[in-house]
Structure 1
C-alpha cells in the first residue's frame, strides 16, 4: 500500500457527512503511514488500544493462551475508560443465579430478544456468538474477583431476568478486578498514551502503531511519538464516539451539545476514524442510543440511572401534565426514550416525566439513599405532597395509581402490556420515591464491521485487514437500531476474548 493509497482511503471520512478536520473535539486525528523505512522504537508481541472491558478481557485471554508480551495503551490518565463508569450490568443466558432462581433461559431466547430490539438489522451471527460465550466472560470477571448483587434484574426488552449487577453498581466493579488481574499476570499497561495511527506493510497489513507518550486530554501535546511494532497484531478496543458532538450531530442533528451524555470525556472516536481510513466498513453510525433511565437533574450517568434501572419494573412513569402513564416502563430503550421525549408543553419545551416508586421497594437499591441525599430524587409521605411539588393533576394521578395497582394484583398490564413478573406484590403506595426522567446519549451502535473472529473487514477487498482486530463499542452493526441494556459488557468482553484467541490462533 502506498502513501497515495492511504490518502485515498481517507476520503472515506467524507461518507460520514462531515469534514475530516472538523469532526473531533479532541486534538487532531491520527494519521496512518507506510512502515517502510520506519525506525522502530519498540517491538512487542501484542498491542491493545483501550483499557475498558474489551481491552482488559483481550489481555487476560491472550496471556492465558501463551502470550508473553502484551501491552495495553490507554489515552486517559486513568484505566478502565468508559467501561469504569457504566452501570455494571451483565446479561448472560443459563447462569448459576438463573438456575438458583428457577429462571428458564437460553442462547436462542437472549438472541431473539436482541433481534426484536434491533428491529431487523442486528447481526444475528455476532449476537449468537456473544450469547454463546457470555457465561465464559462472566466467569472471567468472577475469577478476577468481581462481586455482584445476590439477585437478578429483568431489564427493558428482556423476556426474562438474566442480568447481574456489580455490588458497587457500576462498571468499575469489573474493570478494577480485571485490571488487577492483568497486572498480576504480567500485562504491561501504559496510561497517557494516545494512538496516533497505524503503521502499514506493503500488502496493507497492520504491522504496528504510533503512540504519543505523556498525553494530556484536551491540552497541547508535547510528548514524543513512538513507533511500536506488533509482532502478532493490534486489537482496537477504543470505545464509542458519544462525546464527539460534531460526529453524532452529523448522524442525528438533534444530538447537540445541549443533550446530556453518560460517557467519559475520552469517548471521541479517533481509533474508529483511523480504521475507516484504512478501509474498514462503517456500519450503522446513525443509530445512537439514548438511555431512558437518565435524569436531567445530574451530570453524566449519575446515581439516578442505576436507581431507575432497578426500579422501573415495579414503578410507574407518568406525565406531569396529566398524571397518566405514557409507556411500558420496561420496553426496549428506544421505545422508552422516544416516549419520554414526547413529554413537552405547548411551546415544545421539555417537561421531564416522573418515575414514581414505593419507598419500601426502591430502598432495596443502594442508590436510593444517594438520590435523595444529593437532591436528584425526592421522598414524599403522601400523594398530595407529591402532586403539589410537581404540579401534577391530583385526580388523574390518583386514578392512574389505583388502576396500576389493579394490574399488580391481576398480573396483567392492560394499558401497555408491561411484564408484571417483577412487580408482583409491589403496590405503588406511600411513602413514595420520585425521580425525573430524560434521555441522555449513551451508546453508539455504529462503528467498524467485524466478523465472529473479531477481524476487521476491508471494504475494498471484502477480506479481513491482516494484523487488525477490533472489539467493543468501536464495532458496529451488532445490535441494530437499539441495544438492550446489560448486553454491552458481554459483547465487549466476549469479542475482546475472541480477538485474543484469533490473534493467538486458538
Structure 2
C-alpha cells in the first residue's frame, strides 16, 4: 500500500459520521505509517495490545502452542483494564456444575438466548464459536488458579442458570491468575506502553506496531515512540470506548458526561479507531449497553452492581410513585435499563427506583455487608419504615408484596412473566434490604468486524487484513442490540485463544 492509499484508508473513519468528535477525544488518535524504510528498534513474534481477559488468554494460549516470543503491551500503569474491575461472571453451557445441579443446557440453548437478546442482528456464527469453546476457556481460568463460588447464577435473559462467579466477585479473580500464568510462561508485559499505530507494507499487511513507552495516561505525547517489528501477528485486545464521551455521544446523544460509567478510565477506543483507519469494517457502533444493576449512589461499577445481579431473581424493583413493580427483574439488560430510565417524577426528572430484598437472602452475597457499610444500601425492620424513608404509598406497596409472594408460592409471575425458579421459597419478608437502581454505561457492542478465526476484515477487499487479529470488546457484531450478562468473559477469552490459534495455525 502506498502512503497515498494509506491516507485514503485513514479517511474511511469519516464514514462513521463521527470523525470530528473522535478526533477531539482524549487522548489523541494514533497514526499508522508505511513500514518502508522504518528503523526497527526490536522485534517480536506475537504482539498483544491490551492486558484484559482477551489479551491474557491469547498470551497463555500462544505459549502453550509453542510460540517463543510473545509480548503484551498495556497503556495504563496496571494490568487488567476493564476486565479486572468487572463482575467476574462467566457463562458456559453444559458445565460440570450444571450437571451436578441437574440442569440441562447446551450450546444451542445458550446461543438461542443470546440471539433473542441481540434482537435478530447478533452474529450467530461468532456466538456459536464462543459457546462451543467456552468450557475450554473456563478450564483455562481454573488451571491458572481462579476460584468460583460453589453455585450457579441465572442472570437476566438466560433461560437457565449457567453463570459462574469468582469468589472475590470481580474480574480480578480471573485476570490476576491469568497474569501470573503469563509470567510463569515467560510472557513480558509492558505497562505504560501506549499503542500509537500500525506499520504496514505496500500490500497493506501489518508488519509492526508503534508503541509509546513510559506513557502516562492523560498526558499526550509524553514518553518515546519505538517501532517494533511483528513477525507472526498483532492481536488487538484494547476493549471498548465507553469512557470516550464524545464518541459515545456521536452514536447516542443521550450518553453525555452526566451519565455514569462502570469502565476503567483507559476505555477510550484508540486501538479500534486505528483499525478503522486501516480499513476495518465498523459494526453496530450505536449499540451501547447500560447496566441496569448499577446504583446512582456510588461511582463506577461499585458494590451494588454485583449485589443486584445476585439478588434480582428473588427481589422486586419498585417505582417510588406507585409502589408497584415495573419490570421483569431478570429480563435482558436493555429491557431493564429502558424500564428503569422511564422512572421519572412529575417534572420529568430521574426518580431512581428501588430493589427490595429480604435481608435473610440478600446477606448471602459477599458484597451485602459492604453495601450497607458504605451507605449505598439500607436495612429496614418493617415495611412501614421502608415506605416512609422513600415516601412510597404504603398500601400499594403492601399489596404488591402480597401479590409477589403469591407468585413465589405458585412459581408463576402473573405481572411480568419473570422465571421464578431461583425465587422458589424465597418470600419477601422483614427485615428488608434496599438499594437504588439507575443504569450506567457499561459495554460497547460495536467495534471492528472479525471472522470466527479472530481475523479483522478489510472493508475494501472483504478479506482478512494480513497480520491483524482482534478479540473482545474492541470487536463488533457478536452481541447485537443487547449483550447478556456473563457472556463477555467467555467471548473475550475464547476469541483471544482463537487469535493465537489462527496465528500459529493450530
For Structure 1 versus Structure 2, the TM-score category normalised by the shorter chain is over 0.9
Q: Does 1:446 align with 2:436?
A: no
**How many Å separate the matches in 2 of 1:329 and 1:366?**
20
Gap change, CA 1:24 and 1:164, over 3 Å in 2: farther
State the distance in 1 between where 2:2 and 2:66 align.
34
1:82-161 matches, within 5 Å, as: 82-161=82-161
Indicate if the aligned counterparts of 1:262 and 1:441 stay in contact, CA closer than 8 A.
yes
Which residue pairs with 1:189 in the alignment? 189
* 1:356 alignment counterpart: 356
What's the counterpart of residue 69 of structure 2? 69
The alpha carbon displacement at 1:22 in A equals: 4.8
What CA distance in whole angstroms lies between the structure 1 residues aligned with 2:19 and 2:176? 38
- 8 Å contact kept, 1:24–1:268: no
Gaps of 5+ in 2: none
Counterpart Cα distance in 2 of 1:145 and 1:22: 40
Q: Deviations over 1:260-308 (max 9, x none)?
A: 0000000000000000000000000000000000000000000000000
Contact 2:21 2:250 in 1 (8 A): no
What is the alpha-carbon distance in structure 2 between the residues aligned to residue 172 and residue 28 of structure 1?
Answer: 29
> Aligned equivalents of 1:71 and 1:22: distance in 2?
29
**Who is 1:211 aligned against?**
211
Contact 1:23 1:244 in 2 (8 A): no
The equivalences for 1:317-356 within 5 A come to: 317-356=317-356
Looking at structure 2, the residues matched to 480 and 124 of structure 1 have their Cα atoms a distance apart, in angstroms, of 10
Q: Distance in 1 between matches of 2:247 and 2:184?
A: 38
Question: What is the CA-CA distance between 1:348 and the residue it aligns to?
Answer: 1.0
Alignment-derived partner of residue 312 in structure 2: 312
Correspondence 1:472 to 2:472: yes
Aligned 8 A contact 1:320 1:391 in 2: yes
Q: Is the 8 A contact 1:24 1:244 kept in 2?
A: no
2:41/2:227 contact within 8 Å kept: yes
Aligned match of 1:42: 42
Matches within 5 A, 1:456-495: 456-495=456-495
Q: Secondary structure at the match of 1:474?
A: coil
The CA distance in 1 between the partners of 2:288 and 2:425, in whole Å, is: 36
Q: In structure 2, how many angstroms separate the alpha carbons of the residues matched to 1:430 and 1:183?
A: 50
CA distance in structure 1 between the aligned counterparts of 2:169 and 2:24, rounded to whole angstroms: 31
User: Secondary structure of 1:198's match?
Assistant: strand
Return closer, same or farther for 1:20/1:227 CA change in 2, 3 Å cut-off: farther
Shift of 1:221: 3.3
Within-5 A mapping of 1:3-82: 3-20=3-20, 22-82=22-82
Answer whether contact 1:93 1:162 (CA < 8 A) is retained. yes
CA RMSD, 1 decimal: 0.8
Distance 1:406 1:440 in 2: 32
The aligned counterpart of 1:503 is: 503
- Provide the C-alpha distance between the structure 2 equivalents of 1:421 and 1:328, rounded to a whole number of angstroms: 14
Deviations 1:174-200 (A, max 9, x none): 000000000001011100000000000
Preserved CA contact (<8 Å) 1:42 1:228: yes
**Residue 177 of structure 1 pairs with residue 167 of structure 2:** no
Cα displacement (A) at 1:3? 1.2
1:21, 1:28 within 8 Å by CA — same for their partners in 2? no
SS in 2 for 1:235: strand
Query: Post-superposition shift, 1:16?
Result: 1.9
Native 8 Å contact 1:16 1:250 kept in 2: no
Structure 1 residue 24, shift from structure 2 partner: 4.9
Query: When the two structures are superposed, what TM-score results if normalisation uses the length of structure 1?
Result: 0.99
2: distance between equivalents of 1:78 and 1:349? 38
Deviation at 1:15, TM superposition (A): 1.8
Question: Which whole-Å CA distance do the structure 1 matches of 2:144 and 2:227 have between them?
Answer: 32
SS in 2 for 1:501: helix
Q: CA deviation at 1:346?
A: 1.8
Distance 2:214 2:84 in 1: 22
**1:20 Cα deviation after fit:** 4.2
Unaligned runs of 5+ in 1: none
SS at 2:209's partner residue? strand
Equivalent pair of 2:216/2:222 in contact (CA under 8 Å): no
